[in-house]
């Protein structure tokens, strides 16, 4: 079985296996909108404070990438049972190459993330516009593409730790990343006085049409590098759960 055919088979298998569990991702999208829409509207109309600024950035930077991860039993048990290690150990004894596993996981991630972001940003646009914000469709599409590029890039890093390491290492790597994001967002709000979310939108409004293109280029590079790094990690890691 060829690389792409095998990878697509794995991706379809995992997507079909998740099935109705994907609804939990949509519920999480609704939960995220509940917080981000009022925050974003306040930021856009200039009625925000420093705490709201960093909180908005923190929610975006932290939660948008994880919309690509379906909430299922494997995810919920990775700490206690090291479920990802067990799953990869099973796959490794099948006639499936490490490269097919890496590419298939990224394809699955991309499909789920794209669908979740499509729902999230369409609803966000409708809700923010209904609250009085003046946003053009073209600008918002570019803005959504920019954040999709960011999210997929970071999500691929998550996948590297997810299937390339034990559950405990994956957990602590996530904690470190979240702590770094907290520091970055607080520092940005303190010294800049604004938000990364609003800054990206205003930059695109002011003619920086190249921002989403750069985000997609970085995203493509992350996919290429990610497949290679994940493949190498799967070849060298321990599968003792």
What average pLDDT does the chain have?
A: 87
Q: How many domains does the chain have?
A: 1
Q: Who contacts 226 (Cβ-Cβ below 8 Å, separation ≥6)?
A: 102, 106, 156, 157, 159, 160
pTM confidence score: 0.92
Interhelix angle for 50-63 vs 196-205, to 10°? 80
The residue behind tokens 């970055």 is 184
Name the strand (E) or helix (H) holding 87: helix 83-92
191-233 tens-digit pLDDT: 877 789 888 988 998 989 999 999 999 999 999 999 999 999 9
SS3 188: helix
Q: 93: domain range? A: 3-236
Cα distances (Å, whole numbers) of residue 84 to 10, 90, 240:
15, 10, 11
Q: Is residue 241 part of a domain?
A: no
What φ, ψ does residue 47 adopt, rounded to 5°? Answer: -110, 60
Cα distances (Å, whole numbers) of residue 71 to 42, 153, 175, 178, 196:
30, 20, 18, 19, 28
Q: Is residue 138 part of a domain?
A: yes
91-146 tens-digit pLDDT: 888 888 999 999 999 999 999 999 999 999 999 999 988 887 778 899 999 999 99
């Amino acid at each position: 079985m060829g690389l792409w055919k095998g990878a697509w088979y794995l991706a379809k298998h995992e997507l079909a296996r998740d099935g109705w569990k994907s609804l939990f991702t949509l519920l999480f999208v609704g939960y995220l909108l509940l917080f981000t829409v009022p925050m974003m509207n306040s930021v856009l109309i200039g009625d925000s404070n420093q705490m709201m600024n960093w909180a908005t950035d923190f929610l975006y930077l932290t939660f948008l990438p994880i919309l690509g991860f379906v909430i299922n039993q494997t995810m919920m048990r990775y700490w206690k049972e090291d479920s990802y290690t067990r799953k990869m150990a099973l796959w490794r004894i099948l006639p499936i190459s490490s490269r097919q596993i890496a590419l298939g996981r990224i394809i699955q991630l991309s499909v789920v993330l794209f669908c979740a972001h499509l729902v999230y940003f369409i609803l966000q646009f409708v809700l923010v516009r209904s609250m009085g914000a003046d946003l053009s469709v073209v600008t918002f599409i570019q803005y959504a593409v920019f954040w999709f590029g960011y999210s997929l890039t970071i999500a691929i890093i998550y996948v590297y730790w997810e299937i390339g390491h034990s559950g405990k290492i994956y957990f602590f790597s996530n904690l470190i990343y979240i702590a770094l994001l907290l520091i970055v967002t607080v520092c940005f709000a303190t010294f800049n006085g604004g938000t990364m979310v609003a800054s990206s939108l205003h930059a695109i409004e002011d003619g920086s049409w190249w921002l989403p293109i750069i985000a997609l280029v970085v995203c493509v590079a992350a996919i290429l590098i990610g497949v290679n790094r994940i493949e190498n990690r799967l070849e060298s890691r321990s599968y003792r759960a």
